[in-house]
Amino acid sequence: MQQAHALDALFQALADPARRGMIARLCRGPASVSELGKPFEMTLSAVAQHLQVLEASGLVRSQKLGRVRTCRLEAKALERVDRWLSARRASWETMQPRAKLEAR
C-alpha cells in the first residue's frame, strides 16, 4: 500500500483532542489561527504546531491574508479515512456472520 504513510499521518493527526476540536470547528466554516485556539488553554505557539500537524496530514489547508491566516477543512482527507474504515467494514461483514452470533 502506497498511502500507508498518508493514513499514518491522518490517524495520528486525529489522535489528539485539541486537533479533533479544531477539525470540528472547521467543519462549521473557516477560522483564523487564534480563533481555532480560543477554546483551548494553550499558547498560540502550541496551537500553531497542532495546525502544522493538521496541514501536514492534509486535513487542513490555509492561506495568509494580511496578518491573518485563515484555515479551512479539506474534506477529501476525511473521506480517505472513511474509505479505509469502509473497506474494513466490508471485509468484516462478508466474513463474520458467525462471529456476530457467537459474540459476548
Listing DSSP states for 20-71 in one string gives HHHHHHHHTS-EEHHHHHTTSSS-HHHHHHHHHHHHHHTSEEEEEETTEEEE
**Given the complex with DNA, which of 65 and 103 has the nearer CB atom?**
65
C-alpha distance from residue 65 to each of 8, 26, 62, 70 (Å): 31, 18, 10, 8
Residue window 82-101: x/- pattern of binding to DNA, with contact defined by CB under 7 A: --------------------
Binding its own copies (rule: CB under 8 A), the pick from 23, 33, 36, 54 is 23
Q: Does residue 46 interact with its own copies by CB under 8 A?
A: no
From its own copies, DNA, none, which one binds at residue 3 (CB under 5 to 8 Å depending on kind)? Answer: none
Minimum CB distance to DNA, residue 77 (Å): 17
Largest CA distance in the chain: 61
Which residues of this protein are in contact with DNA, per CB under 7 A? 12, 15-16, 18, 32-35, 41-46, 48-50, 53, 64-69
